Copies of this chain bind each other. A is one copy, B any other.
Amino acid sequence: MKVYETITGGVTAAQGFKAAGVPAGIKTPGRRDVALLAADSPAAVAAVYTTNQVAAAPVKLDRVRTAAGQAQAVLINSGCANACTGEQGIRDAETSARAVAAELGIDEQLVLVCSTGVIGALLPMDRLLDGAKRAAAALSRDGGDDAAHAIMTTDTVDKQYAVKLLIDGIDVRIGGMCKGSGMIEPNMATMLGFITTDASIGSKALDMALREAVGVSFNKIVVDGDRSTNDTVMLFASGAAGNTELNPDHPQWREFVDALTQVCVELAKKMVMDGEGASKFVTVRVRGARSERDAQLAARAIAKSPLVKTSWFGLDPNWGRVIAAAGYSGAEVDDRRAQIFYGDLCAYDQGKVADAAQLAAMQNVMRERAFDVTVDLHLGTGEDMLYTCDLSHDYVTINAEYTT
């Protein structure tokens, strides 16, 4: 696939968007924890939400509002998830959106809200509304960086990425920011992602493009296999670039979707790279499965197995744990046919096992920050790929100490 040119700026790289991030005392005093992203005029919007049955209040509110296909602003806070907060949580989400609408002088139905942080606590509304007011006043074309910092929770680095491409001979930009480092697995998990583009595109086409891009990016990452109550990816299109409206019949539709996919994949990879306590970035590839579904089951079982993940942390090419995980995944596996690779080196070849010298070479592959583990089941043509990380002491430390 073609690689599109990266540009600076994240969520404000595209024309027609401003952002801000301010400290409001919701998280650690002094740290930015309220972000505001706003379009200069109502934008087309598409969104994908958590599949968790326990959805947070902001998710419940946004699901309704984004269904209309238009939005102009989204208020985001870290430090409090506003999840499991009952009717009061819904009222707080509505009140927050109304306050932003008043500040910006726009219809409150065009304002979305996102929260991330501790489950079960009510939003500290005084601090949040004060933060929202200051964020509205601080909105700027250069505010993407502050916003990207304000949405972080256990993230150790901000996550931004943007590209540009030519549509109808005109520069079109797609950029975004995201947060998330724990509770991550395919099908969305404590992650928030915000992407903007200045392409002209209707909300239906935008939704198609987003779903395709999310399917091969945010839904292909695993940190710990937990899925959160708040996961959200939103995509806004301002139309400021002035291209002919994009839809699947546009000759450059595929290029737009590919560029959007590149943005989503790079943002997703940044989350895995910053996975809680992660020291290794591992791409798990399964091929030769009886079916695509089998490949997905096997890849997911491998990427989620604590025994496999700790072996990566320990630089141990323990292919036995890999094949055992494939074996219990529900996928058809025949150990007399399977092959397992670390990088390009074959650890297990249809019953034949690598010797000590070969295993030592594989340990060298594992010393890299990023490496591939590939399973070829030799049973068919099904394949899948996931991005994941190892399970380290730091994961335990971070998650034993977070909250309360």
Give A contacts to B, CB under 8 Å: 51-55, 81, 83-87, 118-121, 182-183, 224-229, 304-307, 310-311, 313-314, 316-321, 323-328, 331-336, 348, 351-353, 359, 363, 391-393, 395-397, 399-404
Contact = CB atoms under 8 A, between A and B. Distances in A.
B351 A85 contact: yes
A54 B326 contact: yes
B328 A227 contact: yes
A314 B401 contact: yes
Contacts of A85: 351
A53 to B, nearest CB: 4
Given A120-B353, A316-B404, 12 more contacts: A53-B326, A53-B328, A53-B332, A54-B326, A83-B320, A119-B323, A183-B307, A224-B305, A225-B304, A306-B391, A391-B396, A393-B393
Contacts of A399: 306-307, 310-311, 314
A180 to B, nearest CB: 13
Contact of A333 (B53, B305, B319, B334): B53
A52 B120 contact: no
10 contacts: A53-B334, A120-B348, A120-B353, A228-B324, A229-B324, A311-B403, A314-B400, A317-B404, A391-B396, A392-B396
Contacts of A313: 396, 400
